[in-house]
Amino acid sequence: MLRAGENVQPVDRESARQMLREEVVLVDHEDKEVGIAEKLEAHQRGVLHRAFSVMVWDGKGRLLLQRRHIGKYHSGGLWTNTCCGHPRPGETSLAAAARRLNEEMRVICPLTEIGTFTYRAELDAGLTEHEFVHVFRGRYDGVIAPDPAECDGYSWTSPDVIRKQIAAVPQCFSAWFKQYIEAGWPIAPPG
């Protein structure tokens, strides 16, 4: 069963403002850059932008899930894949994925891009995710010490259990993670 962490910290207002002022790269359906926008504006307008998702597996074939901090500007308190975010202008998706994996989960491991996934989802607070996502996976068997300002909990969970939990309580999972699972991809540990 998934459990939230004990150490829940609110995100201070200045940190939240800084996160929302970050810029994202707007792209077309072939991932060619077409502009730059503030992250909040991109989600308010529902414009297609570049993103990444990271799936970290352990040696037992379990996926590392995180419960998003309740104070996140959207999807707070929901369970999702190990890490996700947006590359900054001029930053590669791989570099951004490695940076955020370390910032959010305090995990450093080699990452391999396994493909891309485009989706659109209506979120809470009147926001829309419309993302061209570069999906990465890695393997890690070390200590997990997530940043409590980013993550309210984590769980190493098998693919079968993830599918059963999403079927039973879909409202507890992020829109993008549910779409990954519904598509049957990419929910397999590295070979």
Asked if residue 43 lies in contact with residue 19, where contact means CB atoms within 8 angstroms, the answer is no
Tell me, yes or no, if 104 is annotated catalytic.
no
**Burial group, residue 94, by CB count within 10 angstroms (0-12, 13-18, 19+):** middle
Q: Which one of the listed residues 84, 104, 129, 150 is annotated catalytic? A: 84
Active-site residue flag, 113: no
Catalytic residue among 104, 129, 131, 150: 131
How big is the CA angle at 107 (ends 104 and 109), to the nearest 5 degrees? 135
Q: Which residues are catalytically annotated?
A: 84, 131
